[in-house]
A = this chain, B = another copy of it.
Amino acid sequence: MHALVYTDTQKLVYREEKNPKLVNNESIIKVSASGICGSDMHAYHGKDDRRVPPLILGHEISGTIEKGKEIGKKIVLNPLITCGSCNYCNNGREHLCQKRIILGMNKPIERQGGFAEYVSIPDQNIYELPKGLKIEEAPIAEPTAVAYHAVELGEKSISEKMENTKVLVIGGGAIGLLSGLILSKIKNCKNIVIVETNNKRLNECAKYLDAEAVNPDSKKIIENHFDIVFDTVGLEVTRKQAIKSIKPGGIIIHIGLTQPSGSFDFRKATLQEITFIGTYCYTNKDFEKTLEILTNKKIGSLDWIEYRKLQDGSLAFKEIHDGSCAAPKIILLT
């Protein structure tokens, strides 16, 4: 098959690779579309020790079952593969399963990703394509589930109603925009500020999201002001902005992980009783809920997604890398 292979730092090659093999309780998917995630970019920059070249990246995937139990069915994948039998899996927190793996990773266990003609996946990770969702848009289900899970964690922890909260979303990538859309259109938040350094992206977010769209030096980012801050970037500088702008008793939801360690203002966190919640992926229930959200078009138009051909994937990565692409999400079509 053809695949876009990550061969070295900032290097992707569209080339011939071996087809995946069918095994018990799995299916082979003919990939229709596969989205580029921030974590794929992190790998591309040589900074992800779970994704070591050579590797086929990509875990936001839609397609058609080519081999397996339900040949011909149009589907979208939950790329998070879990053991199904541990305490976490048995208690609705599958995403914390210590045997979990995601498509498009090879450490500690290899599972090739979706930037290819075919990909293999356990049957339990296959969901029918939601009605009304185009197959090329469907990979957006995965980052939407990430954002949905993060918003739910925030809502669970906050003492007031979400619709009354003042929210700061840091980052105008897919997770930032999707978190904002869920907050605005599903949780009815009326008081959202979204902050992004790249003005092309910022303007794109502003077209779809009912929020103040600002740069990081904006006066709209008031100190000690926000009830809840979503840091979808995870840089030292964004974490500093998060802790500075959160109000006493507030919640920081940390979704991005660009810099994996750094300093933190434990003084404010303690004296002002700040809750900092790390969030990763989504539960199976979150993923199902997300498909329902997309089926019912609850987050509105998805026209902010841009599409490229898989064979042009290397250029798409480059566009995201150098900030020349306005779209918060690029999906590669096979």
Contact = CB atoms under 8 A, between A and B. Distances in A.
Interface residues of A, number: 37
A262 interface: yes
21 contacts: A93-B159, A95-B273, A98-B248, A157-B157, A234-B270, A254-B269, A254-B270, A255-B270, A257-B271, A259-B266, A260-B266, A260-B267, A261-B267, A264-B264, A268-B278, A269-B278, A270-B279, A271-B278, A273-B278, A273-B279, A274-B277
Interface string A144-175: 00000000000001010000000000000000
Interface in A251-308: 254-255, 257, 259-280
Contacts of A261: 263-267
A249 interface: yes
Given A98-B248, A261-B267, A263-B263, 13 more contacts: A157-B157, A254-B269, A257-B270, A259-B266, A260-B270, A261-B263, A266-B278, A270-B279, A270-B280, A271-B278, A273-B278, A273-B279, A275-B276
B275 A277 contact: yes
Given A239-B266, A261-B267, A266-B254, A273 B96 contact: yes
Contact of A249 (B88, B234, B269): B88
B239 A272 contact: no
A249 B93 contact: yes
A249 B157 CA distance: 14
A280 B275 contact: no
B262 A266 contact: yes
B257 A267 contact: yes
Nearest to A255: B270
Contacts of A266: 234, 239, 254, 257, 259-262, 278
A268 B279 CA distance: 10
A140 to B, nearest CB: 22
The 7 closest A-B pairs by CB, nearest first: A260-B267, A269-B278, A270-B278, A276-B276, A96-B248, A264-B264, A257-B270
A262 B275 CA distance: 17
A129 to B, nearest CB: 29
Nearest to A276: B276
A13 to B, nearest CB: 29
A262 B264 contact: yes
A263 to B, nearest CB: 6
Interface in A78-125: 88, 91, 93, 95-96, 98
Nearest to A160: B91
A240 to B, nearest CB: 11
A249 B281 CA distance: 12
Contacts of A263: 261-264
Nearest to A265: B261
Contacts of A88: 248-249
B279 A249 contact: no
Given A96-B248, A234-B266, A266-B260, A280 B276 contact: no
